[in-house]
Homo-oligomer: A and B are copies of this chain.
């Protein structure tokens, strides 16, 4: 039985963690993975396309080209410690959709601006977001003190 919602512990983990990694794959099955900032409204994950560090158009980014070929994604948020009994992670498998406007875009921008003070100086309004809709959520010890 696949779970599509987050538990309270998982939501707390997602709220506190600052970086995740988003995996996509092209039509030929070649995976791609990038570090991303993210926010959640409790149901979906929102991650912005940055112009930086690469000076490429958002739609030319490999992760975006992959999404158009194959919307399936995997997203991991994990906490590493040298004491390996304290490792924790949350894995979301689902589908990714590029949004450039509309309700989902407004929601994502608001959540990202609230979570990351860095966006006070960088407008997200004109940047596409990827919205990840979970189809399978799994985790290992997502609570940290």
Interfacial residues, chain A to chain B (CB-CB below 8 A) = 18-19, 21-25, 27-35, 52-54, 70, 72-76, 78, 80, 82, 84, 87, 89, 91, 93, 118, 140-141
Contacts and interface: CB of A to CB of B under 8 A. Distances in A.
A37 to B, nearest CB: 9
A33 B74 contact: yes
Contacts of A19: 78, 80
A53 B21 contact: no
A-side binding surface: helix, strand, loop or mixed?
strand
A97 to B, nearest CB: 15
A51 B93 CA distance: 22
Contact of A76 (B21, B28, B87): B21
Given A21-B76, A29-B27, A82 B118 contact: yes
> What is the total number of copies of this protein in its complex?
2
- CB-CB nearest 4 A-B residue pairs: A23-B23, A23-B31, A23-B33, A25-B25
B53 A140 contact: yes
Contact of A29 (B34, B72, B91, B140): B72
B31 A73 contact: yes
A27 B24 CA distance: 13
Contact of A18 (B54, B72, B82): B82
